[in-house]
């Protein structure tokens, strides 16, 4: 082609240069996109988180900016979901396309990070594992924040390392910006704004390059970048809730909050449940009090002090940390991959630079595990750590191949001409094959026992048969209301008489009783059919363990 030349592994198109790594990344990103797209279930049901993100995105894009930003649900993902819906995605797929694109592009910063740390071959192997990783594939089809957060998370780890290596104020500022963006996706990311300067200080001390003025300048620069995105939302949350907190999600998920059994009680004086207030962002008149308890009983004067509270928190954190390691680590990292990663650490003598690099990555892994141990633990919260693990596995494959080939040659007196690349390809294929049990487990997770298909069908039926436009639906979960295009109120955990009176007080049109959700409330709902104010209009008994009924509230 005229004007095109290829030299030392790069193609020049005029003044623009296309390197082999760019081509490789493009191929891997497209492959990841196609694989993730194919794995999206055709008849999926949005979970509660995804429904709220979708509704908030619709409100924001429609011009209801205050209503489209929640104090509980972090805003960036919902805004992007709304934009995707405006561009042309349907209501149910808008959030998925955001996750899908982010999930495919996670390959880019992951490759660059592994390449800078361990070389091109380790980066390629690690990226191939990410393409086929079932956890990341699964997350790319969710209407949840995991894929987008993982993309930004790996991004600020990459820029943070470059900032540390070059003592660059500019890169520290960019890192702060990315951490601020990640805070708008998951509020717990605020901790990394503190971690990055601490890691910079620690590595500077270990390297004997202590320049306090430079350390302070870079740390402040990073903090300024972070505050650009942090402060507006932080102030917004206070304006909406009347309390100073980085997010209501953090407030609710802290073990010390002790919300068990109270989220579905009707709040005294507010006539709503805590879930309506926090999940549904229905604050009404701001009271200025933190929603820690809804019980009107006075606190005992001999309530635990600060030290006792910290002891309880430490105990819970310790048990949750053990849970993460014993239960969640094998679920995200199959044993063969874990063994290869460990082998990569010990197959060669560590150099000084290798130690600093691994210590840098390990600081983010340990901080993440510890942070979730003191708040809430779910398997998906650990997905952002998978690219770091993939980098370690990639270098493990490379180091093991060199050890294996050297050993074979020594045994055969140098006669073995088996090249390391063949060993690396074979081991990578075997590692990808080790994902098979996880693929099987995820496919089983799409059964009726785990996915509320009956609630989606009930919602679609109500959408077509409701005699009230935009009705109000009271149920233990928002699924039916979402698919019915209705307003939602949570079914309170109260007596049947109180529930009916509350439904009428809130002008509820339909009451939904889902067998799947009965465990969420302790109330005895027997006798619904005998209540004069309730008329059954729909019942689905096709699934014996997941029956659902809709009652019309009469006035």
Whether 94 and 82 have beta carbons less than 8 Å apart is answered as yes
- 313 and 437 together in one domain: yes
Using a cut of 0.85, tell me whether the model's pTM lies above it.
Answer: yes
The rounded distance, in Å, linking the Cα atoms of 114 and 342 is 16
pLDDT score of 312: 67
Model confidence at 303: pLDDT above 50: no
- 411 and 466 together in one domain: no
- Which residue's structure tokens are 């398997």? 379
Q: Give mean pLDDT, residues 189-211.
A: 93
Mean of all residue pLDDT scores within the chain: 88
The rounded distance, in Å, linking the Cα atoms of 177 and 156 is 9
- 332 and 434 together in one domain: yes
Please identify, among 418, 444, 470, the residue that sits at the C-terminal boundary of a domain.
444
Q: Give mean pLDDT, residues 24-49.
A: 94
Q: Is 182 part of any domain?
A: no
pLDDT score of 249: 86
- 427 and 465 together in one domain: no
- 539 and 470 together in one domain: yes
- 359 and 376 together in one domain: yes
Q: Which of 2-6, 11-15, 305-309, 453-457 has the highest mean pLDDT?
A: 453-457
The rounded distance, in Å, linking the Cα atoms of 98 and 142 is 9
pLDDT digits (tens, 9 = 90+) for 317-331: 777 778 777 888 888
Q: Is 174 part of any domain?
A: no
The rounded distance, in Å, linking the Cα atoms of 359 and 119 is 17
Q: Is 464 part of any domain?
A: yes
- 426 and 331 together in one domain: yes
The rounded distance, in Å, linking the Cα atoms of 199 and 179 is 15
Pairing between β-strand 472-475 and β-strand 10-13 as defined by DSSP bridges: unpaired
- 400 and 466 together in one domain: no
Q: Is 219 part of any domain?
A: no
The rounded distance, in Å, linking the Cα atoms of 284 and 274 is 12
- Which residue's structure tokens are 């942070």? 371
- 330 and 423 together in one domain: yes
Please identify, among 444, 462, 483, the residue that sits at the C-terminal boundary of a domain.
444
Side-chain-side CA neighbours of 363 within 13 Å: the count stands at 20
Whether 228 and 211 have beta carbons less than 8 Å apart is answered as no
The rounded distance, in Å, linking the Cα atoms of 207 and 353 is 10
- 387 and 471 together in one domain: no
Give Cα 107 distance to the centre of its chain: 17
- Which residue's structure tokens are 């019915």? 484
Tokens of 176: 């702060």
Q: Is 293 part of any domain?
A: no
The rounded distance, in Å, linking the Cα atoms of 240 and 281 is 9
- Helix or strand or coil: residue 102? helix
- 436 and 498 together in one domain: no
pLDDT score of 477: 94
For residues 34-46, one letter each, b for 16 or more C-beta atoms within 10 angstroms of the residue's C-beta and e for the rest, the string is ebbbebbeeebbb
CATH number at residue 511: 3.40.190
The rounded distance, in Å, linking the Cα atoms of 147 and 105 is 9
The rounded distance, in Å, linking the Cα atoms of 316 and 555 is 48
pLDDT score of 12: 67
Higher pLDDT, residue 16 or 358: 358
Range(s) of the domain holding residue 464:
453-553
Q: Give mean pLDDT, residues 172-191.
A: 97
Pairing between β-strand 548-553 and β-strand 472-475 as defined by DSSP bridges: unpaired
Q: Is 20 part of any domain?
A: no
Q: Is 364 part of any domain?
A: yes
Please identify, among 444, 477, 497, the residue that sits at the C-terminal boundary of a domain.
444
- From edge to edge, which strands make up the β-sheet containing 548-553? 487-490, 472-475, 510-514, 548-553, 534-540
- Helix or strand or coil: residue 276? helix
Q: Is 491 part of any domain?
A: yes
Side-chain-side CA neighbours of 141 within 13 Å: the count stands at 20
pLDDT digits (tens, 9 = 90+) for 394-418: 999 999 998 888 888 778 776 666 7
- 425 and 482 together in one domain: no
Total domains in the chain come to 2
Name the residue among 144, 228, 148, 146 with its Cα closest to residue 180.
228
pLDDT digits (tens, 9 = 90+) for 529-542: 788 899 999 999 99
Name the residue among 314, 315, 338 with its Cα closest to residue 326.
338
pLDDT score of 289: 42
């Amino acid at each position: 082609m005229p004007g095109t030349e290829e030299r030392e592994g790069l193609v020049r198109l005029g003044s623009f240069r296309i390197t082999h790594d760019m081509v490789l990344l493009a191929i891997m990103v497209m492959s990841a996109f196609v694989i993730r797209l194919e794995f999206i279930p055709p008849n999926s049901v949005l979970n509660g988180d995804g429904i709220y993100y979708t509704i908030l995105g619709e409100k924001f894009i429609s011009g209801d900016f205050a209503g489209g930003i929640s104090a509980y649900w972090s805003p960036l993902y919902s805004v992007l979901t709304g934009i995707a819906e405006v561009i042309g995605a349907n209501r149910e797929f808008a959030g998925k396309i955001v996750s899908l694109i982010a999930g495919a592009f996670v390959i880019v910063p992951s490759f660059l990070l592994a390449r800078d740390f361990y070389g091109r071959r380790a980066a390629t192997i690690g990226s191939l594992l990410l393409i086929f990783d079932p956890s990341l594939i699964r997350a790319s089809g969710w209407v949840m924040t995991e894929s987008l957060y993982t993309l930004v998370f790996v991004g600020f780890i990459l820029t943070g390392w470059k900032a540390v290596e070059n003592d660059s104020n500019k890169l520290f500022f960019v890192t702060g910006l990315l951490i601020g963006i990640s805070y708008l996706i998951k509020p717990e990311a605020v901790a990394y704004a503190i971690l990055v300067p601490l890691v910079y200080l620690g590595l500077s001390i270990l390297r004997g390059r202590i320049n306090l003025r430079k350390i302070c300048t870079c740390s402040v620069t990073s903090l300024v970048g972070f505050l650009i995105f942090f402060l507006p939302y932080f102030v917004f949350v206070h304006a909406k809730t009347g309390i100073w907190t980085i997010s209501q999600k953090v407030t609710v998920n802290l073990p010390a909050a002790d919300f068990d059994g109270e989220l579905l009680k009707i709040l005294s004086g507010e006539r709503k449940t805590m879930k309506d207030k926090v999940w549904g962002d229905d604050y009404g008149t701001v009271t200025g009090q933190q929603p820690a308890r809804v019980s009107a009983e006075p606190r005992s004067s001999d309530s635990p002090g600060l030290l006792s509270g910290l002891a309880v928190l430490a105990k819970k954190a310790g048990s949750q940390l053990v849970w993460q390691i014993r239960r969640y680590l094998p679920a995200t990292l199959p044993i063969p991959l874990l063994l290869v990663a460990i082998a990569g650490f010990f197959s060669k003598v560590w150099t000084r630079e290798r130690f600093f690099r691994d210590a840098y990555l390990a600081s983010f892994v340990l901080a993440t595990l510890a942070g979730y141990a003191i708040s809430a633990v779910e398997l998906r919260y650990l997905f952002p750590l998978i690219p770091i693990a993939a980098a370690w596995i990639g270098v493990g494959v490379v180091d093991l191949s060199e050890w294996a080939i050297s050993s074979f040659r020594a045994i055969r007196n140098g006669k073995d001409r088996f090249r390391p690349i063949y060993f690396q390809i074979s081991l990578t294929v075997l590692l990808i094959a080790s994902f098979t049990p996880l693929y099987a487990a995820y496919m089983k997770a799409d059964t009726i026992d785990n996915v509320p298909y009956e609630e989606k069908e009930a919602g679609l039926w109500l959408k077509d048969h409701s005699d009230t436009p935009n009705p109000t639906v009271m149920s233990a979960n928002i699924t039916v209301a979402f698919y019915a295009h209705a307003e939602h109120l949570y079914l309170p955990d109260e007596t049947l008489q109180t529930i009916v009176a509350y439904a009428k007080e809130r002008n509820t049109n339909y009451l939904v009783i889902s067998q799947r959700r009965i465990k969420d409330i302790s109330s005895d709902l027997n006798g619904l059919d005998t209540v004069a104010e309730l008329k059954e209009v729909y019942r689905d008994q096709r699934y014996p363990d997941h029956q659902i009924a809709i009652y019309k509230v009469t006035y």
